[in-house]
Each structure stands twice: as structure tokens, then as C-alpha cells.
Amino acid sequence: RVRPEAAESLRRARRDGDPRTPPVASREPRVPPPQDVLDDPERYSRYEQGERMAVYASFMDASKRRIGELEELVARGERDGLPPEQLAEGRRKLEGLKARREELLSRFPELAPPD
């Protein structure tokens, strides 16, 4: 059974969007690889890996900032007496980001920020 206020919240979010959703970041247009790279499977594989690593590096950078923001929000929520469900949601997001960062760092140590 769905609570009426939960159903209404979902209707509002579908119609107007969720105000907690972060804005979509703008990206530079993707530049396709040169034809000689497209013609060589080995070079194209390296090109794809480079593209993938750029995405991972971008995630690492953005997640570091977001982790700091979430830690601050959770701490403020605890101080301000936020409902336990909201605190739990913030902690889940925080732990999920940290886990994904650790997973990427274990697979790709070169993504570690310089000391």
C-alpha cells in the first residue's frame, strides 16, 4: 500500500522534477577520433580506454567535491534534527560515492590525486 503523501510527492516530482536533483553539468562536445585511429583496432582500443579514463577522472574530481558537500549536509542535518529517513538517505548517498571512488581507485590507482 502506498501512502497518499508519497504518491503525491511522486506525481509532483514527475511533473515538476525533484528539487534535490543537481543541475546537469555542461560538457565539451566530443571530438571524434581521427580516421587513422578508427582504421586501426588496436589504436582505437587505446583511444576508447583514454576516453573511459577521462570519464573516471572527471567522476573522481566531481565526487570529491560532492562528498565534502554531503558530509557537511549530513552534519548540519544531524545538528538541525532532520528526520531519520532524510539523514539515512544522505548517508546512503555519501557511502555510495565513497564506495565507488574506492572501487575505481582499486582498479585504476593512477586516478589517485597527487599528494
Residues 3-36 pLDDT 10s: 999 899 889 888 888 777 777 666 778 889 999 9
Residues 38-67 pLDDT 10s: 999 999 999 999 999 998 998 999 899 999
Its pTM stands at: 0.67
Show the cell assigned to 105: 581507485
Closest C-alpha among 18, 35, 22, 24 to residue 70: 22
| For residue 2, pLDDT beyond 90 | no
Assess contact for 91 and 60: CB atoms under 8 A: no
Q: How far apart are CA 55 and CA 64, in angstroms?
A: 14
